A and B are shown apart, each in its own frame.
Chain A
């Protein structure tokens, strides 16, 4: 139980609900009801059946034989890219839309970076007939254009955010402002294991289906539920939290998160929060942050819009601090090369975010009989412009 929240919503020293009074009514309603709702029979029935018939779960655990050969170790890919809408984000939005309905909310808001969470939110809002507003930084709107069009076709209003670097942090600020201005009818579907308690715990629970499936699938394929190590990219940390969740107490399983180094952790253009950050409070949680000595948040940079965030979920700050998980990072260039390698060896074009996890394979000493599972959190359709520009096809 070392890696679950305490009664105040903390993982060790990280987490909590650092909210202004203007958000109290919304957060306390969620806090008092989320577990009760999630554990009610009607809820899990509907959640499980949507995951199966709508999302297409379980997602395959694919043995990547040519990639395994290349790295001289057994490599499995958890295929979250094959989910409806193309990433793990839908697991969480399905859960939260069912929760929002049971809370009687009629309006949904979300922030998005890569647009995958915005897309997943717009999708469940169409499914349930709820109004949907997605905040997205203007920089991200330009670099993740296909997702913007999909969200609009699904009926969502995509609101461009022009503050800061016009990326995920700024979109999150604006979504929080919207929630403050709509204290009664609106549910805020946060897209990662960030934000005030109970979001980090709630989102991790919705994403934990990833590791529940991995255990079953590994048992079938290898005869053991436990791999040697698990590897996932980390923006806010939801696909990693889902991948690690049911292995947290299995101390022999190595957990590796991969952050976006951008142009290098020492370049001043990075999003590798744990590599350069320190404890602070942002987006209503005490966690690790990229900041200066005056407590001003540093603008992050990564080629990957989904990892371009100056904070990290409090669970990961805690896993980092306790040493339970290790955190590596990969630069833009390493990531692009890793995406290309997967494409040519396995015929899978990954999302730029997920390609960070693949890029870390070069940095992890692996033995031939070890079993490695990489969470392939999303597919690369949305990133074709970046790939085409770099590789010139």
Chain B
């Protein structure tokens, strides 16, 4: 069974998913950070594939993309870093990024590499569902890879139902229409959206992402979904002083009371 499905079967609430950019802060930090996140009790990891022009990201993730590319990170290198990762960790792993690096790598080859490496799902926000259906679905399905779809407060009920039919693993609920890390306050409008989605009662579990940065925002998100995704706040934490062990440990303890 796909590890993402397995996770959601066994854990229904307070799932913590963490995003970070491969090759950041140091080129070879990718695998150690994955291991440390698992050790500290994180449930799911989204590994960012760096891109030169991350148009859906705010300043923190833009910075991590720039730094990772300066460090020499590439999709080829990421797959070679991840070789043997399944001997080290067992939590579900997702690759997240922009479509162009995947397109240049070759979509079919990318999907095959994901399966060989032990990647469970992919989030490519600028690969819209109609292009996915038209051209790439067979590669993903043939390699047991979930293509995880996003919904936002502007997504209509009808499109949410459609996304629920099409998505793999879970629905990624973007908390407010924004780029990553915007940290907008939770508004009435957002609560209304969270409740609207809950009432639609989708078949897939949901994780809430964008603007989740601390225990309060995490707990709030967990009232409306199976858990939440933290990205920019973790990228910021990685830039604080200390060893990777200290930084990851400190960060996770800020979110989860105790493991």
Separation of A169 and B98 alpha carbons in the complex (Å):
16
Interface contact B76-A294, CB-CB below 8 Å: yes
Separation of A8 and B129 alpha carbons in the complex (Å):
13
Name the residue on A nearest B102 (C-beta).
A295
Q: In the assembled complex, which residues on chain B have CB atoms less than 8 Å from the CB atom of A183?
A: 152-154, 177
Interface size on A, residues (CB 8 A): 32
Known: A177-B55, A296-B51. A21 touches B100 (CB 8 A): no
Write out, one digit per residue, whether chain B residues 99-112 have a CB within 8 A of any chain A CB (1) or not (0): 11111110000000
Write out, one digit per residue, whether chain A residues 362-385 have a CB within 8 A of any chain B CB (1) or not (0): 000000000000000000000000
Interface contact B51-A20, CB-CB below 8 Å: no
Q: Which of A41-49, A205-213, A280-288 contacts B (4 or more CB under 8 A)?
A: A280-288
Interface contact A24-B104, CB-CB below 8 Å: no
Separation of A385 and B126 alpha carbons in the complex (Å):
40
Q: In the assembled complex, which residues on chain A have CB atoms less than 8 Å from the CB atom of B150?
A: 20-22
Interface contact A19-B101, CB-CB below 8 Å: no
Separation of A280 and B98 alpha carbons in the complex (Å):
11
Q: In the assembled complex, which residues on chain A have CB atoms less than 8 Å from the CB atom of B52?
A: 164, 296-297
CB distance from A287 to the nearest CB of B (A): 11
Known: A21-B151, A173-B55, A297-B52. A180 touches B126 (CB 8 A): no
Contact of B126 among A19, A163, A164, A296 (CB under 8 A): A19
Write out, one digit per residue, whether chain B residues 74-110 have a CB within 8 A of any chain A CB (1) or not (0): 1110000000000000000000001111111100000
Interface contact B53-A22, CB-CB below 8 Å: no
Contact of B56 among A177, A293, A296 (CB under 8 A): A177
Q: Is A200 an interface residue (CB 8 A)?
A: no
Interface contact A295-B127, CB-CB below 8 Å: no
Q: Is A262 an interface residue (CB 8 A)?
A: no
Q: Is A305 an interface residue (CB 8 A)?
A: no
Interface contact B155-A21, CB-CB below 8 Å: yes
Known: A180-B177, A181-B178, A295-B105. A21 touches B125 (CB 8 A): yes
Q: In the assembled complex, which residues on chain A have CB atoms less than 8 Å from the CB atom of B151?
A: 21
Sample of 25 A–B contacts (CB below 8 Å): A18-B126, A20-B150, A21-B152, A22-B152, A22-B178, A24-B154, A25-B152, A25-B155, A164-B53, A173-B55, A176-B55, A177-B56, A177-B57, A177-B58, A180-B177, A183-B152, A281-B103, A281-B126, A283-B53, A294-B76, A295-B103, A295-B105, A296-B101, A297-B52, A297-B100
Given A181-B182, A183-B154, 14 additional A-B pairs, CB 8 A: A16-B131, A20-B126, A21-B125, A22-B174, A24-B128, A25-B155, A183-B153, A183-B177, A184-B154, A284-B126, A294-B105, A295-B102, A297-B53, A297-B100
